[in-house]
């Protein structure tokens, strides 16, 4: 007998208290071990339309809804008695007549009256009267709608759907139908539907595999139920699976806005490559130890029970990988600190008579041009394209600067110091000379923030090999690095890029408002365009709250009140994140958290785990994290964009890049929220808040 678990079961499990979840898991384990156990209290649901729905008693109040046939038992839902029975009475598990996929379908005539959540028109645009809104799908035939997985009995409602009702309607449809309709509603083209052969198993259809999983033993069931939110461990979207399992002739990239599952794809890609290449060494990496720690924990859940597989996948921050490899091949690197390099630059500028160049400019020119590209000759510095460095430098000024940088290079060598770009450059040369890369495959998460030196190293690892390099990233979240040409370093992803458009992490309300911070299209230096239009969220939530106060103390008090209310609702501290623009505002955030009372941790760039506490950090460190509830504080007019940064820019041409990065920062912070987002500041507030209100 096949024992299956449905995504509706894991979703309902998350809504129960911890002690209730434990009781449910115990009963689920007993069912898996022996579904025919006479001790299991099965009760047929006489009022259910689907006569294969049964309830299983967990305790006096909790019931598991199972779909039971002679060949299979499927865990479908769990809840308190009346809620569980009502869920089963309104649904049936059937095979779609056109696609051949197994679906859990709501029975249309039994759907209760629900609140209709509507798109809200901008304040300067009056909402059109409901009666005048056109039907969104009037030009699509019934046959086409059926191929998208729309249940036949829901065709009338789909035909009548308008801009005001499509979101509420989508919540009642199977996922593939909801996603196709929402994509059509925003002017996109859904993926080509899959029609199963007449004699195929409806549970083997790609759309069914995303919501049903055969569980073979108690250990596998325990993994599926241990981390209910991480449903991606068990249920992978077909569009994600296609990227995970695809063969690429060279470097490849998956893109998409925040919440579309790029990290999910990176994790599964690493596991897939390790499974299909039994002797391969796989690197899964990102730019920060905090994110690397999160990736490591998720990967261990994904490959739990496959220890030999986990041993061949190395998960580590990219700088840590480089330093370890450098020490293995050349001895331990003595890195010059940023302050030490700055001091060397100032002394060299004095010696060369170049004090008209400010220390800030000298350090940026060193970091972003000379050291990043490892320029060793005057000719190389003279001729290099200054992408991202918009300050114009005549040849005469470059000559003076080269004298400064030459002195710094000589002083570093004399002291036995090196820099991270030099570490990466030497590793890349070593790999090219030996022809023995330390990894067969490299998967890079948050790839939009890979630096020039890091990309040179990655190119040496696998740019010339099929499937050698795989990147996951979003240009709209680039906050650390200036743009540069990947192709110039041998990494060409043209023709091997795919954009994910289904956002299953962030609610429609949050995604819709935060998308206003960014342009509809973003392009990299090599001409690869990320079109952000057509991205859809598949669930609703409350509207984000943006609130400004007269002073910081009033903001702190209001933030503390909100946090207390959230905690009293039963939200655990580790599901809450509080973010600010930079370290200068951390005191304001921690003051609010201290008043609210939960255990918390202030993250820095070496922390690898949150350990069940509320997280407080800067927007930069929020990258890659996600929380159920997010509070973004201190969004004052002189904080974001950061006034000190704006005032430090000498050339007005650099302002555009600075403002873009500040927008990206706010976008990153706000899109860490899955369900609830609250943004606060002191009047008059950041100029960016006007864009998202």
Q: CATH no. for residue 620?
A: 3.40.50.300
Residues 74 and 126 in one domain: no
Q: What pLDDT was estimated at residue 236?
A: 82
The answer to whether residue 515 is domain-embedded is no
- Between these two residues, 334 and 644, which has the higher pLDDT value? 334
Q: Give the pLDDT confidence of 155-202 residue by residue, as tens digits.
A: 999 999 998 888 889 989 999 999 999 989 888 888 888 888 888 999
| Sole residue written with tokens 């904080």 | 639
Q: What pLDDT was estimated at residue 130?
A: 43
The whole domain housing 145 covers: 109-185
Whether 435 shows a pLDDT value over 50: the answer reads yes
Residues 489 and 612 in one domain: no
Residues 580 and 665 in one domain: yes
Whether 237 shows a pLDDT value over 90: the answer reads no
Residues 165 and 214 in one domain: no
Q: pTM of the entire structure?
A: 0.84
- The number of residues in the chain equals 693
What band does 305 get if pLDDT is binned at 50, 70 and 90?
A: confident
Q: How buried is residue 216: exposed, middle or buried, by Cβ count under 10 Å (0-12/13-18/19+)? A: exposed
Residues 485 and 410 in one domain: no
Percentage of the chain lying above the pLDDT 70 cut: 93
Q: What pLDDT was estimated at residue 233?
A: 67
- Between these two residues, 464 and 222, which has the higher pLDDT value? 464
Q: What pLDDT was estimated at residue 594?
A: 97
The answer to whether residue 513 is domain-embedded is no
Q: What pLDDT was estimated at residue 108?
A: 83
Distance, in Å, from the CA atom of 101 to the CA atom of 206, rounded to the nearest integer, reads: 8
Lowest average pLDDT, out of 30-39, 247-256, 449-458, 591-600, goes to 30-39
Distance, in Å, from the CA atom of 326 to the CA atom of 292, rounded to the nearest integer, reads: 19
Residues 94 and 114 in one domain: no
Mean pLDDT, the chain, integer: 90
The answer to whether residue 328 is domain-embedded is no
Average pLDDT rounded to a whole number, residues 641-645: 83
DSSP 371-427: TTTT--SHHHHHHS--TT--S---HHHHHHHHHHHHHHHHHHHHHT-B-HHHHHHHH
The answer to whether residue 268 is domain-embedded is yes
The answer to whether residue 425 is domain-embedded is no
The answer to whether residue 688 is domain-embedded is yes
Structural domain total, the chain: 5
Residues 14 and 85 in one domain: yes
The answer to whether residue 520 is domain-embedded is no
Whether 121 shows a pLDDT value over 50: the answer reads no
Residues 12 and 124 in one domain: no
Whether 66 shows a pLDDT value over 70: the answer reads yes
Residue 658 neighbours by CB under 8 Å, 6+ apart: 641, 645, 646, 649
| Sole residue written with tokens 């290079």 | 409
Residues 245 and 346 in one domain: no
Whether 113 shows a pLDDT value over 50: the answer reads no
Q: Give the pLDDT confidence of 412-422 residue by residue, as tens digits.
A: 999 999 999 99
The answer to whether residue 517 is domain-embedded is no
Average pLDDT rounded to a whole number, residues 650-659: 69
Count the Cβ atoms, other than its own, within 10 Å of residue 300: 14
Residues 267 and 131 in one domain: no
Residues 597 and 641 in one domain: yes
Residues 176 and 250 in one domain: no
């Amino acid at each position: 007998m096949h024992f299956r678990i449905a995504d509706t079961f894991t979703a309902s499990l998350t809504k129960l208290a911890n002690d209730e979840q434990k009781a449910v898991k115990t009963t689920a384990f007993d069912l898996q071990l022996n579904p025919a156990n006479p001790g299991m209290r099965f009760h047929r649901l006489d009022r259910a339309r689907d006569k294969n729905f049964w309830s299983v008693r967990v305790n006096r109040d909790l019931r598991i809804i199972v779909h039971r046939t002679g060949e299979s038992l499927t865990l479908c839902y769990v809840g308190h008695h009346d809620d569980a029975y009502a869920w089963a009475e309104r649904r049936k598990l059937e095979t779609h007549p056109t696609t051949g996929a197994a679906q859990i379908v709501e029975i249309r005539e039994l759907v209760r009256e629900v609140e209709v959540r509507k798109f809200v028109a901008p304040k300067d645009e009056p909402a059109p009267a409901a009666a005048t809104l056109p039907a969104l799908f009037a030009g699509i035939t019934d046959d086409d709608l059926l191929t998208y997985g729309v249940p036949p009995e829901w065709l009338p409602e789909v035909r009548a759907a308008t801009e005001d009702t499509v979101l509420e309607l989508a919540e009642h449809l199977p996922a593939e139908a909801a996603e196709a309709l929402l994509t059509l509603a925003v002017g996109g083209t859904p993926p080509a539907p899959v029609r199963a052969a007449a004699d195929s198993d409806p549970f083997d259809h790609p759309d069914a595999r995303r919501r049903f999983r055969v569980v073979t033993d108690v250990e596998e069931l325990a993994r599926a139920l241990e981390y209910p939110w991480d449903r991606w461990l068990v249920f992978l979207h077909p569009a994600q699976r296609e990227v995970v399992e695809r063969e690429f002739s060279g470097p490849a990239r998956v893109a998409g806005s925040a919440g579309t599952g790029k990290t999910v794809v990176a994790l599964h890609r690493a596991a897939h490559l390790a499974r299909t290449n039994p002797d391969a060494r796989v690197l899964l990496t990102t730019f920060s130890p905090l994110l690397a720690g999160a990736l490591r924990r998720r990967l261990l859940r994904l490959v739990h029970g496959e220890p030999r597989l986990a041993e061949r996948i190395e998960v580590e921050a990219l700088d840590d990988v480089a330093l370890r490899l450098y020490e293995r091949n050349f001895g331990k690197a003595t890195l010059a600190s940023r302050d030490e390099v700055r001091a060397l630059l100032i002394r060299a500028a004095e010696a060369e008579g170049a004090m008209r160049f400010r220390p800030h400019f000298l350090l940026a020119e060193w970091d972003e041009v000379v050291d990043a590209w490892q320029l060793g000759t005057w000719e190389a510095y003279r001729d290099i394209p200054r992408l991202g460095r918009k300050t114009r430098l005549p040849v005469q000024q470059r000559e003076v600067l080269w004298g400064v940088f030459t002195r710094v290079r000589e002083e570093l060598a004399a002291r036995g110091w090196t820099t991270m770009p030099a570490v990466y450059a030497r590793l890349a040369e070593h790999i090219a000379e030996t022809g023995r890369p330390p990894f067969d495959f490299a998967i890079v998460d948050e790839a939009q923030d890979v630096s020039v030196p890091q990309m040179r190293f990655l190119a040496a690892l696998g740019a010339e090999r099929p499937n050698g390099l795989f990147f996951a990233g979003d240009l709209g979240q680039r906050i650390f690095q200036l743009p540069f040409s990947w192709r110039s370093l041998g990494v060409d992803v043209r023709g091997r890029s795919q954009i994910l458009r289904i956002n299953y992490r962030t609610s429609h309300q949050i995604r819709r408002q935060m998308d206003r911070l960014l342009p509809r299209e973003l392009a990299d230096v090599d001409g690869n365009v990320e079109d952000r239009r057509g991205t859809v969220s598949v669930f609703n939530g409350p509207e984000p709250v943006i609130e400004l106060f007269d002073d910081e103390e009033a903001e702190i008090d209001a933030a503390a009140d909100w946090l207390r209310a959230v905690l009293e609702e039963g939200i655990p501290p580790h599901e809450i994140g509080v973010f600010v623009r930079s370290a200068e505002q951390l005191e304001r955030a921690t003051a609010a958290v201290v008043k609210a009372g939960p255990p918390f941790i202030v993250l820095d760039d070496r922390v690898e785990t949150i350990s069940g506490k509320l997280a407080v950090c800067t927007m930069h460190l929020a990258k890659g994290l996600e929380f159920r509830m997010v509070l973004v504080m201190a969004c004052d007019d002189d904080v974001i964009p950061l006034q000190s940064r704006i005032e430090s820019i000498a050339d007005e041409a650099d302002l555009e890049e600075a403002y873009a990065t500040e927008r990206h920062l706010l976008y990153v912070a706000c899109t860490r929220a899955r369900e609830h987002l609250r943004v606060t500041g002191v009047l008059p507030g950041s100029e960016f808040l006007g864009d998202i209100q």
